[in-house]
Amino acid sequence: MVAVTPPAANAVHLVDSSLYVFRAWHGTPIDASDEDGWPVNAVHGFARFLCELIERTRAERLALAFDEALDSCFRNAIYPAYKAHRDPAPEELKRQFAHCKALGEAMGLPVLAHVEYEADDLIGTAAAQARRDGHAVVIVSADKDMAQLLDEGDWQWDFARNERWDCAGVKPRYGIHAHQVADYLGLTGDASDNIPGVPGVGPKTAATLLAIYGSMDALLDKLDEVPLLKLRGAAQHAVRLREHRESALLSRRLATIVRDAPLPGDFDAARRRAPDSDAIDRLCERLRIGPMTRRRLQDAARMPT
C-alpha cells in the first residue's frame, strides 16, 4: 500500500454515515438503553466515531450522509428486485439512526438524507458541488463502490483501518481504474445489492476485459473479437455477454452513483455551522451518554478553533 499525505483540514469530508452506524450496531455491546428502554449501542458507538473523526481531522467542512431510501429509492422503480433480499432494519436500529442524525444536526454538521436517493448518491452530488467550489474531497467510507467518485485530488478513507487512497490508488487496490467501477459492477453484478450482472463473468474476467477494451460500451461494441482473445473461456464469455447485454447495461445503471441528487439549499459545500450545545446535552441525557463522551462531543462540535 502506497503511503499518502492526509488532506488539508479545509477539504470537504463526506461521511458514509450509515456504514458506521451499522458497524456500531454490530460492534458495540448492548449494555445501555435510553429513557424509554430502547437500546442505544449504535448511537453510542457512532458518537465516539464522530468525536475521533473530528479530533483527527479538525475538518472545517464535514457532512454526514444517511440512507433513508429503503424501498423508495429510484433504483427500485428501475429494478424492483434491487436490495429486495435484505431484511428490513429492526425498529431498535431505526430509532438509533434517527438519534444519530439528530446528534449530527445538534453538532452543526450538515446531515444529508433523501427518500429517493441513497447516501452514495448524496455523497456523489456533494462531491461534485465541492469540486466546483474549489475544494478537495475526502470520502470517509470503506465501500469499494465509492471509488467511482474519485477524481484527481480526491481521497477515499477507510477510517477503521486508517487506509487512504487517491484516484491513482484504485487500480492497484481493485484491479480497475476509478472510472471503470460502474462498468465492472455491471459485468460482475453485486450480490450484496442484488444487482444481477452477467452470469459467469467474475471479477478477474471483468477486470481483464476492461483492461483490454477500456469500457463496457467498447466491449459490447466488439463482441465479435472476444472469442479470439487469449482468455480462458473467451468464446463462452462472448456468448454470455451477447445474451445478457441488457442485464449488463441495467446493472451498470444500478451501480452508477448519481451526481445530481437534491441537496439542501444551505449546504454550502458542507461548511459546519454553530452547534446547539443545549441540544447536545439534551440528547446525551436522553440517550444516557456518559460524561466523558459528552465532553468530547461538545469539544468536537466547537472545532475547528
**Does 72 reside within a domain?**
yes
Higher pLDDT, 179 or 71: 179
Q: Note whether 127 and 223 are same-domain residues.
A: no
SS (H, E, C) the chain: CCCCCCCCCCCEEEEEHHHHHHHHHHHCCCCCECCCCCECHHHHHHHHHHHHHHHHHCCCEEEEECCCCCCCCHHHHHCCCCCCCCCCCCHHHHHHHHHHHHHHHHCCCCEECCCCCCHHHHHHHHHHHHHHCCCCEEEECCCHHHHHHCCCCCEEEECCCCEEEEHHHHHHHHCCCHHHHHHHHHHHCEHHHCECCCCCCCHHHHHHHHHHHCCHHHHHHCHHHHHHCCCCCHHHHHHHHHHCHHHHHHHHHHHCCCCCCCCCCCCHHHECCCCCHHHHHHHHHHHCCCHHHHHHHHHHHHCCC
Q: Note whether 119 and 262 are same-domain residues.
A: yes
pLDDT in tens, 205-254: 999 999 999 999 999 999 999 999 999 999 999 999 999 999 999 999 99
Q: For position 27, which CATH number holds?
A: 3.40.50.1010
**Does 58 reside within a domain?**
yes
**Does 34 reside within a domain?**
yes
| Mean local confidence (pLDDT), 53-73 | 91
Q: Note whether 186 and 116 are same-domain residues.
A: no
Confidence at residue 1, expressed as pLDDT on a 0 to 100 scale: 41
**Does 288 reside within a domain?**
no
**Does 229 reside within a domain?**
yes
Confidence at residue 9, expressed as pLDDT on a 0 to 100 scale: 56
Q: Note whether 187 and 163 are same-domain residues.
A: no
**Does 73 reside within a domain?**
yes
The type of residue at 206 is: A
**Does 134 reside within a domain?**
yes
Domain boundary residue among 230, 255, 280?
255
- Does residue 41 register a pLDDT over 80? yes
| Mean local confidence (pLDDT), 166-179 | 96
Domain containing 219 equals 178-255
Q: Note whether 71 and 197 are same-domain residues.
A: no
- Does residue 43 register a pLDDT over 60? yes
**pLDDT exceeding 90 applies to what percent of the chain?**
88
Q: Note whether 83 and 127 are same-domain residues.
A: yes
Q: CB of 82 within 8 A of CB of 194?
A: yes
Q: Note whether 122 and 210 are same-domain residues.
A: no
Residue 2's pLDDT band, with cuts at 50, 70 and 90, is very low
Q: Note whether 266 and 229 are same-domain residues.
A: no
- Does residue 305 register a pLDDT over 70? no
Per DSSP bridges, beta strands 111-112 and 137-140 are unpaired
Q: Note whether 63 and 153 are same-domain residues.
A: yes
Q: Note whether 184 and 84 are same-domain residues.
A: no
pLDDT in tens, 121-142: 999 999 999 999 999 999 999 9
- Does residue 6 register a pLDDT over 80? no
Q: Note whether 89 and 236 are same-domain residues.
A: no
**Does 251 reside within a domain?**
yes
Q: Note whether 23 and 89 are same-domain residues.
A: yes
Residue 3's pLDDT band, with cuts at 50, 70 and 90, is very low
Number of domains in the chain: 2
| Mean local confidence (pLDDT), 101-110 | 98
- Does residue 5 register a pLDDT over 80? no
Q: For position 220, which CATH number holds?
A: 1.10.150.20
| Mean local confidence (pLDDT), 174-185 | 97
